[in-house]
Amino acid sequence: MKKLLAVTLGILTAIGGFVDIGDLVTNALVGARFGMRLGLVVLVGVIGICLYAEMCGRVVAVAGRPVFDLIRERLGRRTGLLTLIASFLVTLLTLIAEIGGVALALELASGVQYLLWVPLAAFAVWLVIWRVKFSRLETVFGLMGLLLIVFAVALWKLGPDWGQLMHQATNPRPIGHETWATYGYYAIALFGAAMTPYEVFFFSSGGVEEKWGREDLITARANVFVGFPLGGLLSLAIMGCAAVLYLPVGIQVDTLAQVTLPAAVALGKLGLAIVLIGVFAATFGAALETALSCGYTIGQYYGWQWGKFVRPRQASRFHLVMIICLALSILVLLTAVDPVKVTEYSVVFAAMALPLTYLPILIVANDPDYMGENRNGPVTNVLGLVYLGLLLVASIAAIPLMIITKGGQ
Amino acid sequence: MSGRVLHAQLHLRDRQLIDQRNGRLLGKVDDVELDLEADPPVVTALITGEQRIPARLIAEIDTAVKISNEGLDLDHWDDWFERHIIDKIPGAGDKAD
* B chain contacts of residue A360, beta-carbon cutoff 8 Å: none
Question: Which residue would you say has higher pLDDT here, A349 or A58?
Answer: A58
End-to-end CA distance of chain B: 35
CATH of segment(s) B8-88: 2.30.30.240
pLDDT bracket for residue B11 (50, 70, 90): confident
B15 contact A CB<8A:
yes
B87 contact A CB<8A:
yes
How remote is the C-alpha of A244 from its chain's centroid? 25
Say yes or no for a CB contact (<8 Å) between B85 and A64.
no
B32 contact A CB<8A:
no
CA distances from A84 to A22, A89, A105, A148, A327 (A): 22, 8, 31, 32, 20
| Chain A residues 285-344 within an 8 A CB cutoff of chain B | 299, 301-306, 310-317, 319-320
b (16+ CB within 10 A) / e for A354-390: bbbbbbbbbbbbbbeebbeeebbeeebeebbeebbeb
Give the 3-state secondary structure of residue A38. coil
A76 contact B CB<8A:
yes
* A chain contacts of residue B25, beta-carbon cutoff 8 Å: 299, 303-306
Say yes or no for a CB contact (<8 Å) between B78 and A65.
no
Q: So what's the pLDDT on residue A376?
A: 95
B50 contact A CB<8A:
no
Are the CB atoms for A9 and A285 separated by under 8 Å? no
B66-71 mean pLDDT: 92
Q: So what's the pLDDT on residue A349?
A: 78
Q: So what's the pLDDT on residue A83?
A: 92
pLDDT beyond 50 at B85: yes
- For B13, which residue in chain A has the nearest alpha carbon? A73
- For B8, which residue in chain A has the nearest alpha carbon? A73
Q: So what's the pLDDT on residue B3?
A: 59
pLDDT beyond 70 at B57: yes
Among the partner residues B27, B81, B93, nearest to A303 by beta-carbon distance: B27
Best probe of the B interface among A70, A314, A374, by most B CBs < 10 A, is A314
Q: Which of A18-27, A147-156, A170-179 has the largest mean confidence? A: A147-156
Q: How many CA atoms lie within 13 A of A46 on its CB side?
A: 21
A213 contact B CB<8A:
no
Question: Which residue would you say has higher pLDDT here, B36 or A330?
Answer: A330
Give the 3-state secondary structure of residue A195. coil
Q: So what's the pLDDT on residue B94?
A: 67
**How far is it, in rounded angstroms, from Cα A229 to Cα A18?**
10
DSSP conformational letter for B88: G
Beta-strand relationship, B42-48 and B65-67: unpaired
Q: Residue ranges per domain, chain A?
A: 2-404
How remote is the C-alpha of A261 from its chain's centroid? 22
B16-19: strand order across its sheet: B25-28, B16-19, B65-67, B58-61
- Sequence letter at residue B18: I
- For A79, which residue in chain B has the nearest alpha carbon? B14
Q: So what's the pLDDT on residue B95?
A: 56
Q: So what's the pLDDT on residue A406?
A: 87
Percent of chain B at pLDDT > 90 equals 56
Are the CB atoms for A372 and A62 separated by under 8 Å? yes
pLDDT bracket for residue B1 (50, 70, 90): very low
Say yes or no for a CB contact (<8 Å) between B28 and A369.
no
Among the partner residues B85, B94, B97, nearest to A320 by beta-carbon distance: B85
Among the partner residues A130, A303, A312, nearest to B25 by beta-carbon distance: A303
* B chain contacts of residue A299, beta-carbon cutoff 8 Å: 25
* B chain contacts of residue A305, beta-carbon cutoff 8 Å: 24-26, 78
pLDDT bracket for residue A65 (50, 70, 90): very high
- Sequence letter at residue A216: D
A211 contact B CB<8A:
no
Q: So what's the pLDDT on residue B4?
A: 65
pLDDT beyond 80 at A348: no
Please tell me the class of the A2-404 domain.
mainly alpha
Best probe of the B interface among A316, A322, A324, A371, by most B CBs < 10 A, is A316
